[in-house]
């Protein structure tokens, strides 16, 4: 089952640099939200605060709350590893383990977290099917992942993140290193996953945001810390944004 995720008054710093100011956003269960905005406005920083990856950067600090189904993931005593199992992440550059086989990659999260699985073969197949990769790799599950194309590697990373059954999937420009065919394949995958997951995706591609997201949030830094200019239904953000700066950005006038 998917879950609601809510950021409340999130700030982020890198030592003294205030990178992100007062972001409050709700991500509804079963929806896809696109985060857009010019380079350096804090999209990656924000997405990293959503599964407690930000705090692992030396000098990084944050303030605010992030609620998963109403419970703050920053609460004292919470097991960070468990949070990351529930809120998975896919990065810009596909990062499979190249010297593990395709099959081992899919199950690597399970192994690391020492999760019990009844039937590993079934789980492996299910994740690869959902990531849209099964047909291409079913006869070579024992080959090294390093031998896959970039688009296949990215879908393998998606399959790997699905294996631990996250409720939320964060994706930071997952298609920016891929060709148009692989991009469309991954977009299909994202839409399919959204039926029972909550998805947050950073993208610089306005057509992509329009194609796959239900909601779009526009960030800007304007010289100061990055902040949220507006959020709304994707159709509205692209056709009748409230803020002039959003209109200028989505119509390609800057950024």
Ligand X SMILES: Nc1ncnc2c1ncn2[C@@H]1O[C@H](COP(=O)(O)OP(=O)(O)OP(=O)(O)O)[C@@H](O)[C@H]1O
Q: What angle do CA 70, 74, 76 make, to 5 degrees?
A: 110
Do the Cβ atoms of 23 and 10 come closer than 8 Å?
yes
Count of beta carbons in the 10 Å neighbourhood of residue 97: 14
Under the binding rule (CB under 6 A), the answer on residue 195 touching ligand X is: no
**What's the CA dihedral at 82, 109, 116, 30 to 10 degrees?**
60
**Piece of 43-51, 98-106, 125-133, 182-190 that binds ligand X (CB under 6 A):** 43-51
User: Of 9, 24, 55, 57, which one interacts with ligand X (CB under 6 A)?
Assistant: 57
Under the binding rule (CB under 5 A), the answer on residue 44 touching Mg ion is: yes
Under the binding rule (CB under 5 A), the answer on residue 152 touching Mg ion is: no
Nearer to Mg ion, 44 or 189 (CB): 44
Report the candidate in 205, 195, 145 with the shortest Cα–Cα distance to residue 175: 205
User: Of 39, 99, 119, 195, which one interacts with ligand X (CB under 6 A)?
Assistant: 39
Q: Closest-CB residue for Mg ion?
A: 44
**Piece of 3-11, 13-21, 74-82, 144-152 that binds ligand X (CB under 6 A):** 13-21
Report the candidate in 238, 188, 192 with the shortest Cα–Cα distance to residue 215: 238
User: Of 14, 74, 97, 134, which one interacts with ligand X (CB under 6 A)?
Assistant: 14
Site string for ligand X, 210-239 (x = CB under 6 A): ----------------x-------------
Do the Cβ atoms of 10 and 47 come closer than 8 Å?
no
User: Of 21, 23, 36, 41, which one interacts with ligand X (CB under 6 A)?
Assistant: 41
User: Of 3, 44, 49, 153, which one interacts with ligand X (CB under 6 A)?
Assistant: 44
Binding site for ligand X (CB under 6 A): 14, 17, 19, 37, 39-45, 57, 226
């Amino acid at each position: 089952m998917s879950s609601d995720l809510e950021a409340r008054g999130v700030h982020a710093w890198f030592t003294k640099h205030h990178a992100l100011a007062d972001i409050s956003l709700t991500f509804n269960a079963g929806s896809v939200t696109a985060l857009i905005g010019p380079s350096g406005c804090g999209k990656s920083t924000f997405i990293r605060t959503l599964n407690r990856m930000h705090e692992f950067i030396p000098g990084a600090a944050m303030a605010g709350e992030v609620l998963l189904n109403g419970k703050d993931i920053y609460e004292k005593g919470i097991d960070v590893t468990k949070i990351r199992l529930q809120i998975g992440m896919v990065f810009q550059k596909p990062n499979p383990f190249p010297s593990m086989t395709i099959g081992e990659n899919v199950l690597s999260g399970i192994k690391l977290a020492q999760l019990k699985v009844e039937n590993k073969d079934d789980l492996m197949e299910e994740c690869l099917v959902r990531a849209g990769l099964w047909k291409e790799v079913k006869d070579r599950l024992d080959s090294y992942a390093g031998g896959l194309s970039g688009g296949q590697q990215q879908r393998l990373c998606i399959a790997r993140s699905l294996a631990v059954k996250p409720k939320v999937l964060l994706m930071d420009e997952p298609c920016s290193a891929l060709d148009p065919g692989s991009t469309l394949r991954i977009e299909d995958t994202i839409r399919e996953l959204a039926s029972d997951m909550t998805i947050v995706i950073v993208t610089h591609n306005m057509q992509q945001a329009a194609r796959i997201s239900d909601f779009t949030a526009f960030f800007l830094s304007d010289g100061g810390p990055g902040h949220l200019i507006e959020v709304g239904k994707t159709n509205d953000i692209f056709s009748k944004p409230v803020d002039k700066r959003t209109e200028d950005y989505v119509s390609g006038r800057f950024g």
